[in-house]
């Protein structure tokens, strides 16, 4: 009698019964069998060595499904998907990219719902996620999944030339001694350079970015390797737009490169790097896509990616001991979220236009 009551209560409260658990297992088995018949899954995203060297080999070895990874600029991938879908062709199953590109696909109705495709208990279980559930960031909460939330550094310095205590605040960058010693990507139109300029504009105002990006005479390059080389050689020992992986490589080569995560006069920044996940509409390999989507946001999939990319995930069960503590957001701390949906959709374009206007050549 007691066992029957407990079973009824579990059903009422939504706890999985053994029958329900077997249900997902049967669904997974059938989907996997169909996926293996499809033979492959096509994934589009930015060029990514972690994907090619770590993620794809592990997934293929585990499930026997080939991953065709189409790497390129996100804007070009979006254009390709749009062109193909308008012509009635569907060659791509999944899209892994930054928020701007995924938002375009969502707004133009080029995505299928992802939420119904999730079936692994470790993916659907609310206790496995820091947000209390898988974080679907789109307004309908079913198309665009965000698995990462990582603190971003503000800048990198070469400590052979710049002492850490000399850069405690953003306003320290305006010190005359740093004139001609700061580098960045173009703050008017390059993704990383503009993101930094927008952050400073929002929190410190127009006069600050005029002084930083005009009066301080920064070195500007669109080539990430050039920025890293300038930083290493001390030509520009303060870099506002260097990539973390480039900085890590320099440190391994013996250069004294340091990331600055906190500045006293600006709020810390978090983002969704390296990617958000979406399923393209009417993909050619729906079963393989479902297997890959579930696995990539499972503990194994995300931890593999996290270790390779050094990004903090939103899962509660991923080992984060290998991450630098500065990269993990503090619970309860207020941050500026560069990947926030509302910011990207309704506010960012206007602020970027203001930045371009302020910094346009005179």
Q: What CATH number is associated with residue 119? A: 3.40.190.10
One domain for residues 355 and 258: yes
Strands (E), 179-325: 182-184, 219-220, 238-239, 257-260, 269-271, 276-280
CB 121 within 8 A of CB 24: yes
Task: Judge residue 140's burial from the number of C-beta atoms within 10 Å of its C-beta, 0-12 exposed, 13-18 middle, 19 or more buried.
Answer: exposed
One domain for residues 201 and 285: no
Helix (H) or strand (E) holding 157: strand 155-158
Asked whether residue 336 is assigned to any structural domain, the reply reads no
Asked whether residue 240 is assigned to any structural domain, the reply reads yes
- Could you write out the DSSP letters of every residue in 33-85? HHHHHH-EEEEEES--HHIIIIIHHHHHHHH--EEEEEES-HHHHHHHHHHHH
One domain for residues 168 and 279: no
pLDDT top residue among 68 and 332: 68
One domain for residues 254 and 354: yes
pLDDT at 331 (0 to 100): 81
Q: What is the mean pLDDT of the chain?
A: 91
- Which phi and psi angles does 108 have, rounded to 5°? -95, 15
Interval 187-208 mean pLDDT? 90
Q: What is the pTM of this model?
A: 0.86
pLDDT at 23 (0 to 100): 82
Asked whether residue 278 is assigned to any structural domain, the reply reads yes
Residue carrying the six token digits 């001609």: 180
**Cβ-Cβ contacts under 8 Å for 38 (sequence gap 6 or more):** 65, 285, 286, 287, 288
Range of the structural domain that residue 261 is part of:
155-267+347-359
pLDDT at 131 (0 to 100): 95
Task: Decide if pLDDT at 330 tops 50.
Answer: yes
Helix (H) or strand (E) holding 8: helix 2-13
pLDDT at 85 (0 to 100): 94
Residue carrying the six token digits 């390709």: 80
One domain for residues 351 and 203: yes
Which of 11-15, 71-75, 141-145 shows the highest mean pLDDT? 141-145
pLDDT at 8 (0 to 100): 43
One domain for residues 137 and 283: yes
Angstrom distance (rounded) from CA 254 to CA 248: 10
Confidence of residue 179 (pLDDT cuts 50, 70, 90): very high
Query: By percentage, how much of the chain surpasses pLDDT 90?
Result: 83
Asked whether residue 297 is assigned to any structural domain, the reply reads yes
Least confident of 2-11, 121-130, 212-221, 330-339: 2-11
Task: Decide if pLDDT at 38 tops 80.
Answer: yes
Angle at the Cα of 296 from the Cα atoms of 100 and 80, rounded to 5 degrees? 40
Helix (H) or strand (E) holding 336: strand 336-337
Overall domain count for the chain: 2
Q: Where are the alpha helices (DSSP H) in 87-205?
A: 99-107, 121-124, 191-204
Least confident of 2-11, 198-207, 215-224: 2-11
Confidence of residue 13 (pLDDT cuts 50, 70, 90): very low
pLDDT at 19 (0 to 100): 45
Interval 320-341 mean pLDDT? 91
Closest Cα partner for 294 from 49, 25, 84? 25
Q: How far is CA 123 from CA 16, 119, 308, in A?
A: 14, 7, 21
Confidence of residue 207 (pLDDT cuts 50, 70, 90): very high
One domain for residues 177 and 260: yes
Task: Decide if pLDDT at 14 tops 70.
Answer: no
CB 127 within 8 A of CB 242: no
């Amino acid at each position: 009698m007691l066992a029957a009551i407990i079973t009824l209560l579990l059903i009422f409260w939504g706890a999985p019964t053994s029958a329900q658990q077997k249900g997902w297992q049967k669904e997974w088995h059938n989907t996997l069998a169909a996926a293996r018949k499809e033979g492959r899954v096509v994934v589009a995203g930015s060029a990514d060595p972690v994907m090619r060297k770590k993620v794809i080999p592990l997934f293929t070895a585990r499930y026997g499904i080939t991953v065709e990874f189409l790497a390129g600029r996100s804007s070009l991938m979006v254009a390709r998907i749009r062109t193909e879908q308008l012509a009635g062709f569907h060659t791509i199953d999944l899209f892994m990219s930054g928020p701007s590109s995924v938002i375009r696909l969502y707004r133009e109705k080029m995505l299928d719902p992802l939420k119904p495709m999730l079936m692994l208990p470790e993916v659907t279980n609310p206790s496995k996620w820091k947000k209390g559930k898988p974080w679907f960031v789109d307004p309908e909460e079913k198309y665009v999944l965000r698995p990462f939330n990582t603190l971003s550094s503000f800048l990198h310095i070469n400590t052979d030339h710049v002492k850490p205590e000399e850069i405690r605040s953003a306003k320290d960058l305006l010190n005359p001694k740093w004139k001609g010693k700061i580098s960045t990507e173009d703050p008017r139109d390059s993704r990383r350079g503009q993101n930094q300029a927008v952050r400073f504009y929002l929190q410190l105002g127009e006069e600050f970015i005029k002084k930083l990006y005009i009066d301080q005479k920064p070195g500007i390059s669109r080539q990430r390797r050039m920025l890293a080389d300038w930083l290493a050689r001390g030509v520009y020992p303060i870099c506002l737009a260097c990539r973390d992986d480039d900085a890590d490589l320099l440190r391994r080569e013996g250069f004294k490169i340091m990331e600055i995560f906190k500045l006293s006069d600006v709020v810390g920044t978090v983002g969704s790097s390296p990617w958000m996940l979406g399923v393209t509409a009417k993909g050619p390999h729906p079963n393989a896509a479902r297997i890959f989507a579930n696995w990539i946001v499972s503990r194994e999939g995300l931890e593999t990616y996290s270790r390779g990319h050094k990004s903090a995930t939103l899962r509660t069960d991923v080992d984060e001991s290998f991450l630098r503590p500065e990269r993990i957001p503090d619970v309860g701390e207020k941050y500026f979220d560069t990947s926030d949906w509302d910011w990207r959709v309704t506010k960012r374009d206007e602020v970027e236009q203001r930045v371009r206007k302020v910094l346009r050549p005179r």
